[in-house]
Amino acid sequence: MELALITFTVIPVLILAMALWQSRARRAFVRVRQAIAVVNANLQENVSGVRVVQSLSREGENIRRFDQVNADNWSANVEAGRLTAAVMPVMELMVAAATALVVIFGGIRVLDGSLGVGVVIAFALYVQRFFDPIRDLVLQYTQLQRAMAGGQRIFEVLDTKPEIVDAPDAVELSDARGAVPGWEVTFDHVHFRYVPDVEVLHDIDLRVRPGEVLAIVGPTGAGKSTLTSLIARFYDVTEGRLLIDGVDIRHLKRESLARRMGVVFQDPFLFSGSVRDNILYGRLEATEEEIVEAARTVGAHDFVKRLPQGYDTVLHERGQNLSQGQRQLIAFARAVLADPRILILDEATANVDTRTEVVI
């Protein structure tokens, strides 16, 4: 009984050591995740912007910058490695201390005749076996701390609440008053701010009737793209109301609105996949004839047929194997095929020639 109590005296010391280690290890593992995120972001940025880097002869400066963030990553990993490497030596020290205490106190009892030598030796071996599962738990605990550091960053993303959510009483767009045959878009004393103290739109009153084509012109930074973003409900108005046929857009289901709205941006986004897949993106049930007709409508059919596999040609990431103008035409064809009730063009013809712009 006395030898068992002596063995258990090591456990509180081990628990205290692990508690102190945990606080430092968690910070170190989080720093590792943050450092590798910076490295990946820097690498992705330089690869994506390689043309700008080369055109401005920034290779040397960017390499030095990458070396710096990579050195921070190396430093973070070394610190985490040191803490990980320290766990097992501390564990073995505790086991050795427990064994030594058993041998010392057991030896004293052997000398006074209250214990036999065999009992002390057997108990020392039992101490070794007693700490075997604790060793395994400590090893798993270090892995758990690494996983929790990564999980912390993952849950920060998963727990982020969307800024735009449907109201409890939101209705389908088809249920809105006068949704057929056309919709009227109305800005009713609309104010908008990206940040609290800087107003981008001030008291906008605007009405677009069904069938009308409205061009919004103005200097850079005047808020043209912001207006279109509000109609697509990428943001909600700060003050006032944005109405779709008399119904506040905040009382419409966002998915219902998105299905009936087409947006073509100045910088179109194409997905990895075939040309056909990208045109079909907004209306998966479309037929081959409808795909071709949409491409013809915007003047994309001729260049698509010249591609190696035509509409089955596989596009690289973001459509990098097409020119900017060709990507723009594919985006136009995608919007036309979706047959939206509201079509928004945000400087979408900036990368096409005048003849094609007239066709569109």
- pLDDT at 57 exceeding the cut of 70: yes
Residue 247 forms beta bridges with which residues?
244
- Identity of the residue numbered 295: A
The number of angstroms, rounded, from the C-alpha of 319 to the middle of its chain's C-alpha atoms is 21
Instruction: Please report the pLDDT score of residue 180 as a whole number.
Output: 45
CA distances from 220 to 213, 216, 223, 226 (A): 21, 12, 8, 12
- pLDDT at 124 exceeding the cut of 60: yes
Average pLDDT over residues 195-201: 87
Decide: helix, strand or coil at residue 241.
Answer: strand
Q: Residue 287 is encoded by which pair of tokens?
A: 């037929």
Average pLDDT over residues 343-354: 75
Instruction: Please report the pLDDT score of residue 133 as a whole number.
Output: 80
Percent of the chain with pLDDT over 90: 6
Instruction: Please report the pLDDT score of residue 182 as a whole number.
Output: 60
Location of structure tokens 């109301």: 241
Provide the pLDDT confidence category of residue 215 given band limits of 50, 70 and 90: confident
H helical segments located in the chain: 2-8, 10-48, 50-55, 59-111, 117-158, 224-231, 254-259, 275-279, 288-297, 301-305, 324-338, 354-359
Q: Is 98 exposed, middle or buried (0-12, 13-18, 19+ CB in 10 A)?
A: buried
For residues 350 and 285, the model is more confident at 285
What mean pLDDT, rounded, does the chain reach? 82
Q: Residue 324 is encoded by which pair of tokens?
A: 């900017």
Residue 219 forms beta bridges with which residues?
none
Instruction: Please report the pLDDT score of residue 1 as a whole number.
Output: 62
What's the CA gap between 261 and 246, in Å, rounded?
A: 17
- pLDDT at 177 exceeding the cut of 80: no
- pLDDT at 354 exceeding the cut of 50: yes
Of 11, 7, 1, nearest to 102 by C-alpha is: 7
Average pLDDT over residues 297-324: 85
Provide the pLDDT confidence category of residue 123 given band limits of 50, 70 and 90: confident
Rg over CA atoms, the chain: 33
What's the CA gap between 339 and 358, in Å, rounded?
A: 19
Average pLDDT over residues 48-54: 83
Q: What is the DSSP letter of 250?
A: G
Pair 192, 237: CB distance under 8 Å: yes
Instruction: Please report the pLDDT score of residue 191 as a whole number.
Output: 92
Instruction: Please report the pLDDT score of residue 307 as a whole number.
Output: 86
Domains and CATH numbers, the chain: 2-158 (1.20.1560.10), 173-359 (3.40.50.300)
Of 25, 40, 29, 15, nearest to 90 by C-alpha is: 15
Average pLDDT over residues 283-291: 87
What's the CA gap between 24 and 26, in Å, rounded?
A: 6
What's the CA gap between 3 and 349, in Å, rounded?
A: 85
Pair 191, 202: CB distance under 8 Å: yes
Provide the pLDDT confidence category of residue 179 given band limits of 50, 70 and 90: very low
What's the CA gap between 268 and 325, in Å, rounded?
A: 10
E strand or H helix at 262, and its extent?
Answer: strand 261-265
Pairing of strands 273-274, 261-265: unpaired
Long-range contacts of 8-14, Cβ-Cβ distance < 8 Å, separation of 24 or more: 9/101, 10/94, 10/95, 10/97, 10/98, 10/101, 13/94, 13/97, 14/90, 14/91, 14/94, 14/134
CA distances from 143 to 15, 22, 26, 137 (A): 17, 12, 11, 10
- pLDDT at 74 exceeding the cut of 90: yes
What's the CA gap between 138 and 143, in Å, rounded?
A: 9
pTM score: 0.67
Provide the pLDDT confidence category of residue 130 given band limits of 50, 70 and 90: confident
- pLDDT at 118 exceeding the cut of 90: no
What's the CA gap between 220 and 210, in Å, rounded?
A: 28
Instruction: Please report the pLDDT score of residue 174 as a whole number.
Output: 66
Provide the pLDDT confidence category of residue 107 given band limits of 50, 70 and 90: confident
Instruction: Please report the pLDDT score of residue 171 as a whole number.
Output: 80
- pLDDT at 175 exceeding the cut of 60: no
Provide the pLDDT confidence category of residue 259 given band limits of 50, 70 and 90: confident
Average pLDDT over residues 97-112: 77
